[in-house]
Structure 1
């Protein structure tokens, strides 16, 4: 059969509910129905991405959990409350996972079988049945008849590795068979759309790779949406279905009594065993009956597509071990969202476990003890680092994009700087390879003395989510330049840029095991910090986690530790400061990366004589930043969203308490921007109490305080009254005062007439709870080498 957009009529006056409608097939169907005149209420855990302006008023969102009766009931009641009726229900919420519920996993102590989570069963089957049950109740009140469309998957009914998923789809089809004889009496139609492999953000990379290898067309979510819309309007269809495979529509005959023949047709690509799967990859017969790409598409409507569709082809979703991308041995995975709209990017990012960490460490140990890296000549090692830096620059746009979609970092405002800094760090430390060999001392005491700076061995870097590339380079570049082997652990919130480095690592010529990448959460970092064969761990993140890393390092093998932790950086503006310069540095120091940097200028102290002029100019500068907060894909954007919902709620919590508890006076900002995504106005408080939490605690968002001071002695005490000591800025035209004052500030870095800035050639790090050890400059090399003294007896 053929379904063109012209076959789909108008839905003017109709109201639809679409569960699971914030991404993929559900979102495409919701947009198509809206484009044809329907009002659509999307029920999902996450908001949907921004649609085209022409349909934006016809889409609304209700947060709901498909597995909860009360939550789904609220979805339907809200729909009736908003629109007064209900005509169409799309039952689409579900997860496509190969949940290994039937694996024989046992408790290591008791030997008893371990109960599976049954997540797939709960979401797909129970969620579908709950939604259908409620739909039947509310649609009976529709005067001209209602429609239920079940969106199942046909590609995995018989898939050998997805028994639970297959069971849920059989269950939904069986439910439809049972209901089809009853629904006509209720003036309700129920039908099924059975899509095969569809190109959405949920499509596993392995499946996509097999299709592309065979030269096959992977249908889009829009293709499937057309079938859904067709069934939603077709008055004579009940208890039937439409198969959509490689863009081909096929009517499923009868009441679906034979799922094997009708759902799993010959034009599909779903092996029933691993052997069949392997055979189908090599047989010519497969290509004879599967449509070849490009299959002609019938699109005439430019529907909005999910943010990640254009990039999901090459999302790195494997860990990088021994110069190869491999699947994690851990069945647990990470879920990553786009902070610009809250939409799901991936739910199958590997979470490296004990076996993965042990393998990485073993590969690194072998590479260090038996491999060529530490003994490679300085020229060859330098060439490898320089080539890697060159590759980083060549792939700057792609790497920055992987950061933008998970962190919301605008490319022009900060992303380009981060990639450039990452490449510069590898260039810089390549230059140190033959310049940090050691020292020698004369033999005045009869012994000629040589001190060698020797590599430690296996080193690990645990990096934060806010600068996933630069933080990796700050640790990996000095470690590798000195001949160590390095294991990078990415953040669970922004893993893709780090994982993508694997391809460049191999292309640059690093030997196997020398530079490896693991994705994971705190549990993965803990395994590295406590591993007996890891000789050094460098951590950047929160104070609380930093203390745990130090404890694990001490309890294991007393491994060396570098900690770069929090900050609450003060900027002190004296009366004689260049006003425009001070305002610019303070405003930019807050806006950089949406305030999500450890040395953001979040405490501003202004001497009374210049305060009125400063605060007027600073407020104007911040409000200009507010106008440039938005879509990180827009080149004019200066501030994007904060990283995720948790950070969003945390930052807003500080702001709201600051207001409700009267910790200070809100000067500007303080509100959420837009209805979706995690955007917050840059916010400034003035006249803040000395003991207020917005002054004392690191907020890690676009929030600053501005207070006044009278004397140098007074402000020195206030600036140093913090558990942090990372960075400070001093603004004055008096050089003598600047030098005197900077020497008394308890901070690892002090800027004079500047703030929130670092230099490649100088050490970066803090005092007090801002951490221990230093990164950058040749000082970082000390952290990755062990001095060995050799004494030569000249008398012998």
Structure 2
């Protein structure tokens, strides 16, 4: 890749073969705006071929024992680990996140493969007592069928494996459409799958136009499940489209995460938790803290210490080992952050560190400095919309009741965080928060073995943990007369 990356062309992975295309998508490094490579854009005909291949492979794959499928997944896991540096570098090149975060993402992505290799062996049915001596009742768990997945750009490796691993472990076959911004990481994952010997057709990777993919997938009776991570707006559209073929659907959608700091919190712990939640991937995560509420008793101390920690962050090209904050994915992302900050200033907010201007040197226009805004108010865009950038708006609160009311004052319910050293207060707040994921004195709750997903308009279903495997299984009830 060092010679002339602009000439490198990457292929789709369909029925075990690399498939080139006439139309190419340029993949751009958001840190430098240089072309990383060119990715083939598949046609509708090639997508249909992938669906047919996945359907054919499904009948063989589902018939394998869980141990055999686990063996393939273990080899897949090993191949990913062997290429950790290659995959991490690709993530940084096409996504922009710091290389140390990219390595962490590769390990996180691989952890789903490892977890579900084992969890797939624990798909249990059950025998149910019948009402008569001449009847036996059994409950079986069987794979849904062909699965289509649409994944986002912010975690180009982990958001694929979080869906792929349980699907394969359950006995399903899998078609993924990666985003146009970051498809090359997906190519490397396909190379790892092929090197692991996973049979042809079990995994397909097809980059095509959004409309072509959704129309073809939604109209296909062979595709029995759709899993999507992205915006609530698109999730609602996909849900409506899936009605005609009654697809099984999982949606991991937008968030608007609150972070509550109560007056008995360990302030240092709260500051570090805020840093861990807010600044991963420059704030471009669906579960990052988007609005911070701090009780008045420790407000000044918290703000002072958070400001100090934020000013220690290094902004720059993610390939530099010392960089903590990379770029926004593109100018649209930058402009949204800028609009939120301008709106906050217009409504009385005060920037105490950061703001958009800083020395970019040879960097692109996509960088935004970590920004701390005080005097945040309920009507500010940064308090009502997902900013998806390195901006921390802080609002002073007076009571636990106010904290809970403000936290729940949103149609979204993906993740929430709070900090208190009181077991009694913490238990009450955890129970009251209307969110699928809650971090108590913890700003980084994600794990392969834990169920990930939201309430209200933040989605349907769960990924990760045993719940993530259930999402790819159908329940069959068998009544036997004897």
| Short-chain TM bin | over 0.9
SS at match of 1:539: strand
Query: In the aligned structure 2, how far is the partner of 1:663 from the partner of 1:364?
Result: 55
- After TM superposition, list the pairs within 5 Å mapping 1:240-279 onto structure 2: none
Partner of 2:224: 535
Partner of 1:583: 271
Contact 2:44 2:216 survives alignment (8 Å): no
Partner of 1:771: 459
SS at match of 2:430: helix
Partner of 1:359: 49
SS at match of 1:475: helix
**What stretches of structure 2 of length at least 5 have no aligned partner?**
none
Partner of 1:752: 440
TM-aligned CA deviation for residue 380 of structure 1: 1.3
1:701 matched to 2:389: yes
TM-aligned CA deviation for residue 773 of structure 1: 1.0
Q: Deviations over 1:765-787 (max 9, x none)?
A: 11122111111111112211100
Partner of 1:448: 136
Partner of 2:308: 620
1:325 matched to 2:18: yes
Q: Cα 1:695–1:521, aligned 2, differ >3 Å: closer, same or farther?
A: farther
1:484 matched to 2:175: no
SS at match of 2:393: strand
TM-score by length of 2: 0.95
Which protein has the larger Cα radius of gyration, Structure 1 or Structure 2?
1
Contact 1:499 1:518 survives alignment (8 Å): no
Partner of 2:155: 467
Match of 1:633 among 293, 316, 319: 319
- After TM superposition, list the pairs within 5 Å mapping 1:46-445 onto structure 2: 200-203=4-7, 205=9, 317-328=10-21, 331-346=22-37, 348-369=38-59, 372-412=60-100, 414-445=101-132
Q: Cα 1:203–1:366, aligned 2, differ >3 Å: closer, same or farther?
A: same
Contact 1:354 1:527 survives alignment (8 Å): no
Query: In the aligned structure 1, how far is the partner of 2:120 from the partner of 2:278?
Result: 36
TM-aligned CA deviation for residue 657 of structure 1: 2.9
Contact 2:291 2:382 survives alignment (8 Å): no
TM-score by length of 1: 0.58
Query: In the aligned structure 2, how far is the partner of 1:761 from the partner of 1:202?
Result: 39
- After TM superposition, list the pairs within 5 Å mapping 1:723-762 onto structure 2: 723-762=411-450
Q: Deviations over 1:279-312 (max 9, x none)?
A: xxxxxxxxxxxxxxxxxxxxxxxxxxxxxxxxxx
TM-aligned CA deviation for residue 332 of structure 1: 3.3
Query: In the aligned structure 2, how far is the partner of 1:472 from the partner of 1:616?
Result: 39
**What stretches of structure 1 of length at least 5 have no aligned partner?**
1-23, 25-198, 206-316
Contact 1:569 1:600 survives alignment (8 Å): yes
Contact 2:271 2:306 survives alignment (8 Å): yes
Partner of 1:689: 377
Query: In the aligned structure 2, how far is the partner of 1:756 from the partner of 1:318?
Result: 35
Query: In the aligned structure 2, how far is the partner of 1:529 from the partner of 1:746?
Result: 33
Query: In the aligned structure 2, how far is the partner of 1:335 from the partner of 1:202?
Result: 8
Query: In the aligned structure 1, how far is the partner of 2:415 from the partner of 2:6?
Result: 42
Pick 1 or 2: higher relative contact order, CA cutoff 8 A, min separation 6: 2
